[in-house]
Amino acid sequence: MTTDTAEWKRQATAFAVEFVESGMVVGLGHGSTAIHAVQLIAERMKDGRLRNITGIPCSFQAEEEALRYGVPVATLDVRPSIDLTIDGADEVDPSLNLIKGGGGALLREKIVAQASRRVVIVVDESKLSPMLGTKRSVPLEVIPFGWRTQMDFLEAMGAKVSHRRNADKSLFKTDQGNLIMDCRFGPIMALRELIRVLESRAGIVEHGLFLDAVSEVVVAGASGVRHLKRA
């Protein structure tokens, strides 16, 4: 991430955090966007601008960050309705559909998004794309059992598939203990048809395509911050 890109993301996150109000249950996404959002929320709690905030983390990492900065957390079992979720995305198309899962938390992120009244996605302008799949692969969370059959299936569909790995080359595991396969489909013209095929396949737990999941995207770039809303 360049210095400019990091600063743009910080600007967009600060814009989104302005939507947080006292008493809210707030979904906390995974990754750098969520960490910055937690920091800003914690600052506002400390100086009294925000009170009685409860965070619902999308990952173990997000939970650790929230607790480290003093933001109280709960689970969806305790607080099943979320007022506002702030999260990032890997790619955003003109209809505000998304590819998510670059951090490996796509399953929990999707569950939290579906439980939220309002989802605000924060990105820098490099994440905007004319069509999903143009810039990014689609992450799939798959169970370890029979993973090779999933790879063969996806490659037969024309995807270039790679196992997500950690820095030490070991296989990346999600918080559920599953694997991530990153699938390069190229520009995806038939999103809903691809989703139908992926969701019909046993062993594929979740995919990183988020259609109709959000109504707002905050984008920051060289020309400033834009607040995009679904038409």
Return the structure tokens found at 62. 């997000």
Distance between CA atoms of 82 and 90, rounded to whole angstroms? 23
Q: Does residue 195 lie within any of the structural domains?
A: yes
24 Cβ partners below 8 Å, 6+ apart?
A: 53, 54, 83, 84
109 plus 29 within the same structural domain: yes
pLDDT class of 219 with cuts at 50, 70, 90: very high
Is the pLDDT at 1 greater than 70, yes or no?
Answer: no
CATH number where 39 lies: 3.40.50.1360
- The Cα-based distances of 69 to 31, 161, 222 in angstroms read 15, 38, 30
- The backbone region for 186, taken as left when phi is positive above 0, alpha when psi lies in -120 to 50, beta otherwise, is left
| Active-site pick, 63, 65, 109, 141 | 109
192 plus 215 within the same structural domain: no
Is the pLDDT at 115 greater than 80, yes or no?
Answer: yes
100 plus 152 within the same structural domain: no
Distance between CA atoms of 12 and 4, rounded to whole angstroms? 12
Structure confidence at residue 180 (pLDDT): 98
Q: Does residue 28 lie within any of the structural domains?
A: yes
Catalytic site includes residue 109: yes
Structure confidence at residue 82 (pLDDT): 98
Structure confidence at residue 215 (pLDDT): 84
CATH number where 199 lies: 3.30.70.260
pLDDT digits (tens, 9 = 90+) for 184-203: 999 999 999 999 999 999 99
In the chain, the number of structural domains is 2
Structure confidence at residue 137 (pLDDT): 98
Q: Does residue 231 lie within any of the structural domains?
A: no
Strand partners, 119: 85
Q: Does residue 228 lie within any of the structural domains?
A: no
Q: Which structural domain range is residue 160 located in?
A: 138-206
78 plus 169 within the same structural domain: no
